[in-house]
Structure 1
Amino acid sequence: MANILYRIGGWAARWRKSTLGGGIIILLLLAVVALRMGPVFEGDMSIPGTESEKAANALQEKFPSGDAVDGGTIQLVFKAAQGKSLESAETKKVIQTSLNSILQDQNVASVADPYSSGAISANKEIGYATITYKLPAADVTEKSVEDVERQADKMRKAGIQVEKSGTVGSGGVPEIGGISEVIGIAMAFIILLVMFRSVLTAGLPIVIAIFGLGIGVLLILIGSNFIDMSAVTLTLAVMLGLAVGIDYGLFILSRHRQNMLAGMSIRESIANATGTAGSAVVFAGMTVIIALAGLSVTRIPFLSTMGLAAALTVFIAVLTAIVIVPAMLSLLGERILPKAAAGNERNKKLKKKPATESNAWGRFITKFPLPVAVAGILLLSVISLPALHLQIGLPNNGMKSEDTTERQAYDLLSEGFGPGFNGPLVVLATADGTNNSQSAIEQATAGLSKMEGVASAAPPILNAGGDAAIISVIPKSGPLDKETGKLVSTIRGESKEMESQYGVKLMVTGSTAVDIDISKKLNNALPTFGLLVVGLAFVLLLLVFRSLLVPLKAVLGYLLTMTATLGFVVFVVQDGHFANLFGITQSGPVLNFLPLLTAGILFGLAMDYEVFLVSRMREKFIHARDAKGAILFGIKSSGSVVTAAGLIMVCVFAGFIFMDDTMIKSMGLALAFGILFDAFVVRLAILPAIMSMLGRHSWYLPKWLDRILPNIDVEGAALEEKSHKITVDNRQAM
Structure 2
Amino acid sequence: MFRGIGRFSVNRPWLVIALWLVATAALIALAPQLKPTNDQAEFLPSHYESVRAADIQQKAFPQNRQPAAIGVFERSDGGKLTEADKKEVGEIATGLQGRKFEKISQVVTDPKAVSPDGKIALVQVYASTQQMQDETLAESVGKLRTATSDQLSGKELKFGFTGAAATMLDSQEASDSTDAMVMMATLVLIIVLLLVIFRSPIIALMPVLIIGLVFMVTMGVIATASNLAGLEAPASISAILIVVLFGVGTDYTLFLLFRYREHLREGQEPKEALASAAGRVGETIASAAGVVIAAFVALLLSSMGMLSSMGLSLAIAVAVTLIAALTLVPAVFSLLGTKAFWPSKAWRKQPKNVIANRVGSFASRKPALVAAVSGGLLLVTALGVFGFKAEYDTESSLPENLESVQAMDRLQKGFSAGQSDPTQVYVKATDGAALDKGELAGYQAKLQGVKGVNQVSPALVGPKGDVAQFSVVLDFRPSADEALELVNGDLRDTVHGAAPKGTEQYVGGSTAVLADIQTAVNRDYKLVFPVAAVAIMIILGLLLRSLIAPLYLMVAVGLGFGGTLGATVWLFQDGSNGLLFMLPVIVYLFVTAIGTDYNILMVARLREEIRSGKEPREAVRLAVTQSVPTIAAAAVILAGTFGVLMLADNSMLKQMGFAVAFGILLSAFVMAILLVPAVTTLVGRRAWWPGNRNETPGGGAAEELGEPDADPLVTAGRQ
TM-score tier after normalising by the smaller chain length: 0.7 to 0.9
Which residue is equivalent to 1:709?
none
Distance between the aligned counterparts of 2:553 and 2:232, measured in 1? 34
2:497 aligned with 1:497 = yes
2:194 aligned with 1:200 = no
Matched residue type, 1:638: S
Deviation of the 1:471 alpha carbon = 1.5
Which residue is equivalent to 2:158?
161
Q: Secondary structure at the match of 2:106?
A: strand
Matched residue type, 1:100: G
Out of 75, 78, 83, which is 2:73 matched to?
78
Q: Secondary structure at the match of 2:680?
A: helix
Out of 631, 642, 649, which is 1:642 matched to?
631
Deviations 1:134-177 (A, max 9, x none): 35443416763443122232326413221122333256484375
Deviations 1:629-659 (A, max 9, x none): 3322322222211111111111111111222
Out of 388, 391, 394, which is 1:393 matched to?
391
Out of 127, 130, 141, which is 2:124 matched to?
130
Which residue is equivalent to 2:677?
688
Distance between the aligned counterparts of 2:598 and 2:67, measured in 1? 46
RMSD, matched Cα:
3.2
Q: CA 1:103 to 1:611, structure 2 compared with 1: closer, same or farther past 3 Å?
A: farther
2:99 aligned with 1:110 = no
Deviation of the 1:90 alpha carbon = 4.2
2:554 aligned with 1:546 = no
Matched residue type, 1:490: D
Distance between the aligned counterparts of 2:221 and 2:570, measured in 1? 37
**Alpha-carbon contact 2:426-2:505 (below 8 Å) kept:** yes
Distance between the aligned counterparts of 1:357 and 1:379, measured in 2? 22
**Alpha-carbon contact 2:198-2:344 (below 8 Å) kept:** no
2:138 aligned with 1:149 = no
Which residue is equivalent to 2:567?
568
Alignment of 1:86-97 (within 5 A): 86-93=81-88, 96-97=91-92
Deviations 1:437-476 (A, max 9, x none): 2211221221322321122222221222333321122221
2:479 aligned with 1:472 = no
Distance between the aligned counterparts of 2:400 and 2:568, measured in 1? 21
Matched residue type, 2:497: E
**Alpha-carbon contact 2:97-2:107 (below 8 Å) kept:** no
Deviation of the 1:283 alpha carbon = 1.2
Out of 629, 639, 656, which is 1:667 matched to?
656
Q: CA 1:379 to 1:646, structure 2 compared with 1: closer, same or farther past 3 Å?
A: same
Deviation of the 1:280 alpha carbon = 0.5
Deviation of the 1:556 alpha carbon = 0.4
Deviation of the 1:284 alpha carbon = 0.9
Distance between the aligned counterparts of 1:254 and 1:324, measured in 2? 17
TM-score by length of 2: 0.88
Distance between the aligned counterparts of 1:53 and 1:543, measured in 2? 43
**Alpha-carbon contact 1:13-1:326 (below 8 Å) kept:** yes
Alignment of 1:177-216 (within 5 A): 178-216=180-218
Which residue is equivalent to 2:287?
283
Deviations 1:520-578 (A, max 9, x none): 211122122221122222222222222333211111012112222222233233326xx
Distance between the aligned counterparts of 1:589 and 1:717, measured in 2? 58
Deviation of the 1:84 alpha carbon = 4.6
TM-score by length of 1: 0.86
**Alpha-carbon contact 2:368-2:682 (below 8 Å) kept:** yes
2:24 aligned with 1:24 = no
Which residue is equivalent to 2:302?
298
Out of 8, 14, 18, which is 1:11 matched to?
8
Q: CA 1:51 to 1:660, structure 2 compared with 1: closer, same or farther past 3 Å?
A: same
Q: Secondary structure at the match of 1:111?
A: strand
Deviation of the 1:492 alpha carbon = 1.4
Out of 410, 413, 416, which is 2:411 matched to?
413
Which residue is equivalent to 1:245?
249
5+ residue gaps, structure 2 = 696-700, 713-719
5+ residue gaps, structure 1 = 577-586, 707-711, 724-734
Deviation of the 1:607 alpha carbon = 2.1
Which residue is equivalent to 1:217?
219
Q: Secondary structure at the match of 1:690?
A: helix
Q: CA 1:64 to 1:423, structure 2 compared with 1: closer, same or farther past 3 Å?
A: closer
Matched residue type, 2:70: Q
Q: Secondary structure at the match of 2:419?
A: helix
Which residue is equivalent to 2:452?
453
Matched residue type, 1:28: A
Deviation of the 1:517 alpha carbon = 1.1
**Alpha-carbon contact 1:220-1:234 (below 8 Å) kept:** no
Out of 595, 614, 618, which is 1:606 matched to?
595
**Alpha-carbon contact 1:428-1:507 (below 8 Å) kept:** yes
Q: Secondary structure at the match of 1:362?
A: helix
Deviation of the 1:663 alpha carbon = 3.4
Q: CA 1:618 to 1:48, structure 2 compared with 1: closer, same or farther past 3 Å?
A: farther
Distance between the aligned counterparts of 1:639 and 1:528, measured in 2? 35
**Alpha-carbon contact 2:294-2:536 (below 8 Å) kept:** no
Deviation of the 1:129 alpha carbon = 1.8
Alignment of 1:513-662 (within 5 A): 513-575=512-574, 588-662=577-651
Deviation of the 1:124 alpha carbon = 1.7
Which residue is equivalent to 1:119?
113
**Alpha-carbon contact 1:480-1:589 (below 8 Å) kept:** no
Deviation of the 1:122 alpha carbon = 0.8
Deviation of the 1:407 alpha carbon = 1.8
Q: State which drifts further: 269-278 or 333-342.
A: 333-342
Distance between the aligned counterparts of 1:694 and 1:432, measured in 2? 66
Deviation of the 1:113 alpha carbon = 2.9
**Alpha-carbon contact 1:76-1:165 (below 8 Å) kept:** yes
Q: Secondary structure at the match of 1:161?
A: strand
**Alpha-carbon contact 2:93-2:123 (below 8 Å) kept:** no
Deviations 1:18-59 (A, max 9, x none): 22233223222322335xx54433573223322322333344
**Alpha-carbon contact 2:561-2:591 (below 8 Å) kept:** yes
Q: CA 1:221 to 1:87, structure 2 compared with 1: closer, same or farther past 3 Å?
A: farther
Deviation of the 1:98 alpha carbon = 5.2
Which residue is equivalent to 1:731?
none
Distance between the aligned counterparts of 1:719 and 1:178, measured in 2? 48
2:313 aligned with 1:309 = yes
Q: CA 1:452 to 1:64, structure 2 compared with 1: closer, same or farther past 3 Å?
A: closer
**Alpha-carbon contact 1:193-1:199 (below 8 Å) kept:** yes
Q: CA 1:252 to 1:89, structure 2 compared with 1: closer, same or farther past 3 Å?
A: same
Q: CA 1:204 to 1:634, structure 2 compared with 1: closer, same or farther past 3 Å?
A: farther
Aligned residues: 691
Q: CA 1:275 to 1:702, structure 2 compared with 1: closer, same or farther past 3 Å?
A: closer
Q: CA 1:72 to 1:654, structure 2 compared with 1: closer, same or farther past 3 Å?
A: farther
Deviations 1:322-362 (A, max 9, x none): 111111111111123364638xx94xx58x9x999971111
Q: CA 1:272 to 1:78, structure 2 compared with 1: closer, same or farther past 3 Å?
A: same
Distance between the aligned counterparts of 1:105 and 1:519, measured in 2? 40
Distance between the aligned counterparts of 1:527 and 1:435, measured in 2? 43
**Alpha-carbon contact 1:181-1:652 (below 8 Å) kept:** no
Which residue is equivalent to 2:380?
382
Distance between the aligned counterparts of 1:132 and 1:455, measured in 2? 25
Alignment of 1:266-281 (within 5 A): 266-281=270-285
Distance between the aligned counterparts of 1:662 and 1:717, measured in 2? 56
- Return structure 1 stretches of 4+ with deviation > 6 angstroms: 68-72, 354-358, 702-706
Distance between the aligned counterparts of 2:218 and 2:78, measured in 1? 56
Deviation of the 1:505 alpha carbon = 4.9
**Alpha-carbon contact 1:213-1:245 (below 8 Å) kept:** no
Matched residue type, 2:477: G
Which residue is equivalent to 1:579?
none
Deviation of the 1:381 alpha carbon = 2.0
Q: Secondary structure at the match of 1:119?
A: strand
Q: CA 1:704 to 1:69, structure 2 compared with 1: closer, same or farther past 3 Å?
A: farther
Which residue is equivalent to 1:729?
none
Out of 100, 104, 112, which is 2:95 matched to?
100
Q: CA 1:355 to 1:494, structure 2 compared with 1: closer, same or farther past 3 Å?
A: closer
Distance between the aligned counterparts of 2:67 and 2:322, measured in 1? 40
Q: Secondary structure at the match of 1:228?
A: coil
